[in-house]
Structure 1
Amino acid sequence: MECAAKGRGTSCLRGPPKRRCGLCGAVAYCSKSHQMLHWSDHKDECSRLAQQMKHADGLSDFPFTFLGSGKEETRCSILTSAGLHRVELWKSECSCSLAVASSKSSWINDSWCLPSSLCPCSEPRSPAPTHMSSWKDYYQWRCLPFHSPAALLLHWPLTIYRCFQVSGLQNLILRDSNTLNIHYLGPEKELLQLGVFSELRALFPSIQLHIEFVGPAVPQFRDGEMISLCNYMHCSEEDCCCKVSSTVSASEAPNCSSSFLTVKLHKGFYHDRYEDIVKDSYPHLVVVPNAGIAAYSSWLPTIELLKDKKIPAVFTDFCEEAANLAAHCISSVSAKALRQPVQLNPFRQPLAVEDSALYLPCYSNCFLFGI
């Protein structure tokens, strides 16, 4: 975290800022002088941030026991306790390591590195509950104990599931077709965790699901690649029936009869690649995870495109402040109110983001909103 007044007036004192605003507690400063200097900017947001800070306890309310109980717990310490620190697809969850999405050697990981009792490595025993709306519901349905850390990765497919829930498309898809096309924009660490999206097969049974992953982080050598997620990611037990490769190139598995889910990768911005992509896959829904709309002007042409084409889109962001700023930007561009107002995502990742710009409670895919 940096001093909220960095770049204004004198240079910041060395070391992390430790002087927090006494009213909101959301911002910090390196010195009293910098705090006073920043007040003219901060005073308009202070009460708003204070209200958001009051939600911290509610945002951290999860049923999981793997999270630990002390403030000294970090992402790495929790992963270490679970035996997953710097392990295969879990590497990108470590705060001490930088996973590189362009690495050919680590592109596809198809193992949970967990015993079968702690991960969804096979078909569910029963259909998904009609109104599944919490991690508790999901874990009970998948017969997972609450000490399983699988939710740290499952928040990606479960967020897609939630976006579909709030989009209001359920009846349309189920009535008119068994095909669902989703365009997923701006993937980053998900690109190293593609296998986990195979859980969408259980969440959308009997539906031919196709997802277009589109973003600048897609490596050039993967641009245009099609992947079939034929099976669930397998567990660490050698004698488990799940021991089949869950992620293979579509060209390597032309007879994969159980393939209900395919993924295609595209490098670049969505507004630049849109015309080529929709030739084969017109979207029923666009999902934009952890978008940071207010922080990146590159999203504006995409928002214009979504508005002009009248494509339903659901966005997520890390914290309430970012979501509200993004919602304001989108409404300004589209000249319309949001179809889905800013709301808490029950399937947000249950580990807080470390080293965020503010002390606001931040979680991957924490809040969602849509047009």
Structure 2
Amino acid sequence: MECAGKGRGTRCLGAPRRRCSRCGAVAYCSASHQILHWSDHKEECKRFEQQMKRVDILNDFPFTFSQEATLQVLEKETRCLFLSKRGIHQMGMWLHECSCGASVTSSNCSRSNDGWHLPRILCPCTEPVSPMSKQLSGWKDYHEWRCIPLHSPAALLLHWPLTIYHAIQLAGLGSVNHEFREKLYIHYLGPEKELLQLTVFSELHALFPGVHVHIELVGPAIPLNRDGESIDLCNHAHCLETDCSCKSSSESMSMDVKTSRTSKVTLQLRSGLYHDRYRDIAEDFSPHLVIAPNAGIAAYSSWLPTVELIKETKVPAIFSDYCEEACHLGAYCISIITGRPLTFPIQLNPFRQPMVVANSALFLPCYSNCFLFGI
């Protein structure tokens, strides 16, 4: 945790142990730094106070490991320890879930075909036992449908495809009468860590049976030597067990029982910024949805031309971020650019990653894909 008044003319006197008595979201090394920072903090203080009142809701997950993955991680129990206890530390897709894993920039953007490294009972390595009978409203619904116990850590990776699923429902594109009954085109902006966990997107087979899901992943983190590469996810990510049907090359993917169509998931990698690459991408197809996970809109000026482009195309766009405050700042930037309020107001994502992310500036809980909003 850093002193909120760091850099205010004088050097910090020590650890930031003096928290704001009103919001409790920021801390200071001294009274002098708190006083110096008040001119900036007074506008956000009341907002932080309201956000801190919702901390218990943010930390509310149905998993048996929820306290371990939220409060204990915040109290300096590391992600590494959590993963080690489950035998998945630095294994396959899990390598990038802790600080000692390889970074995207230092890697070759691996296809991550190592699978789950979990027993089959703990992961969705095969087709669903039964069709989805209702729209999924949260992690409990998903785990019941996929017959996965609530002590499984699989949700730590599944939040990527489940956030796409929820964004489609939020944008009103989930109707069976919608035009994407056969094909669903998504522009996915700014991928980073998920580039090393691409196999997890094969769960879209189960979430959209009988649909061809095509995702254009566009962002500067994609290496130039992978630009234009197409990846077909023909199978679910594999489990640990050698005798599981997920190892069979003839495994059939999700099928729409009404039409007898099998699903298909393809990923296309595009290096660069969206507004620079859009013309090339749009020559092939226009998207049904734009989604930008953990966008950080207020932090990067490159979002300005991208938001302007999205406004012009009139395609629904859903953004996510790590905490409510980041969404608030991002929504303010969007309203300035577009000249109108959000179409999809800031709201908690029921499929946020159920493990807290450390925040060096605020005591607000942060989770990957925590809140959603959009235009």
Give the aligned partner of residue 159 of structure 1.
163
Q: Residue 341 of structure 1 contacts residue 369 of structure 1 at CA under 8 Å; is this kept in 2?
A: yes
Counterpart in 2 of 1:82?
86
| Aligned equivalents of 1:259, 1:165: Cα separation in 2 | 18
- Matched ranges for 1:63-142 at <5 A: 63-69=62-68, 71=72, 72=75, 73-104=77-108, 106-142=110-146
Letter of the structure 1 residue corresponding to residue 33 of structure 2: H
Quote the offset at 1:107 in angstroms.
3.8
**1:352 aligned counterpart, secondary structure:** coil
Q: Distance in 2 between matches of 1:185 and 1:215?
A: 6
Given candidates 172, 175, 178, the residue that maps to 2:182 is 178
Tell me the distance in 2 between the aligned counterparts of 1:105 and 1:327.
31
Secondary structure of residue in 1 paired with 2:347: strand
Alignment CA distance shift 1:88-1:133 (3 Å): same
Question: What secondary structure does 1:171 align onto?
Answer: coil
Q: C-alpha root-mean-square deviation of aligned residues, in Å?
A: 1.9
- What's the secondary structure of 1:314's corresponding residue? strand
Deviation at 1:30, TM superposition (A): 2.0
Deviation string for 1:65-106 (max 9, x for gaps)?
133446343322211111112222111111344423552384
Relative to structure 1, the CA distance from residue 30 to residue 176 in structure 2 (aligned partners, 3 Å threshold; closer, same or farther) is closer
For residues 126-148 of structure 1, the C-alpha deviation after alignment (integer angstroms, 9 at most, x for no partner) is 11233211100000000000000
Alignment match, 2:272: 268
**Corresponding position of 2:255:** none
Against the structure 1 CA distance between its residues 177 and 63, is the aligned structure 2 distance closer, same or farther, given a 3 Å change threshold? Answer: closer
Following the alignment from structure 1 to structure 2, what is the Cα–Cα distance between the partners of residues 87 and 176? 36
Could you tell me how far apart the structure 2 residues matched to 1:108 and 1:173 are? 35
Tell me the TM-score normalised to structure 2 length: 0.91
Matches within 5 A, 1:216-235: 216-235=220-239
SS in 2 for 1:170: coil
C-alpha distance in 2 between matches for 1:97 and 1:54: 34
User: What residue is the counterpart of 2:50 in the other structure?
Assistant: 51
Give the superposition deviation at 1:267.
0.5
Once residues 324 and 109 of structure 2 are traced to their aligned partners in structure 1, the CA distance between those partners, rounded to angstroms, is: 37
Corresponding pairs, count: 360
Q: Per the alignment, do residues 245 and 83 of structure 1 end up closer, same or farther by CA in structure 2, a change over 3 Å counting?
A: farther
Task: Note if contact 2:221-2:271 (Cα within 8 Å) is conserved in structure 1.
Answer: yes
Which has the higher mean CA deviation after the structures are superposed, 160-169 or 329-338?
329-338
Aligned to 1:277: 281
State yes or no: 1:25 paired with 2:21: no
Question: Judging changes above 3 Å, is the alpha-carbon distance between structure 1 residues 122 and 312 closer, same or farther for their aligned structure 2 residues?
Answer: same
2:10 maps to amino acid: T
Task: Report the CA distance shift for 1:216/1:55 in structure 2 as closer, same or farther (over 3 A).
Answer: same
| Distance in structure 1 (CA, Å) of the matches to 2:278 and 2:286 | 9
Judge which range, 182-191 or 86-95, deviates more. Answer: 86-95
For 1:106 and 1:272, how far apart are their aligned partners in 2? 25
Structure 2 unpaired stretches of 5+: 251-260
The one-letter code matched in structure 1 to 2:247 is K
Misfit runs of 4+, over 4 Å: none
CA contact (8 A) 1:91 1:99 kept: no
Q: Output the TM-score relative to the length of structure 1.
A: 0.92
Please list, as runs of the form range in 1=range in 2, the aligned pairs for 1:197-236 lying within 5 A after superposition. 197-236=201-240
For 1:281 and 1:128, the matched residues in 2 are separated by: 29
Aligned-partner Cα distance in 2 for 1:198–1:245: 15
Distance in 1, matches of 2:132 and 2:332, equals 35
Deviation per residue, 1:262-284 (Å, 9 max, x gap) = 00000000000000011113111
Q: Secondary structure at the match of 1:10?
A: coil
- Matched with 1:11 is 11
What secondary structure does 1:128 align onto? coil
- CA shift, 1:150, in A, is 0.2
Amino acid at match of 1:61: D
Alignment equivalent of 2:361, drawn from 347, 357, 364: 357
CA distance in 1, matches of 2:172, 2:210: 19
Distance 2:176 2:7 in 1: 51
Partner of 1:2: 2
Look up the match of 1:249.
none
Distance change (3 Å), C-alpha of 1:100 and 1:288: closer
**Conservation of the 8 A alpha-carbon contact between 2:208 and 2:263:** no
CA drift of 1:174 comes to 3.5
Give the CA deviation at 1:259: 6.1
Please, which moves more after superposition, 60-69 or 147-156? 60-69
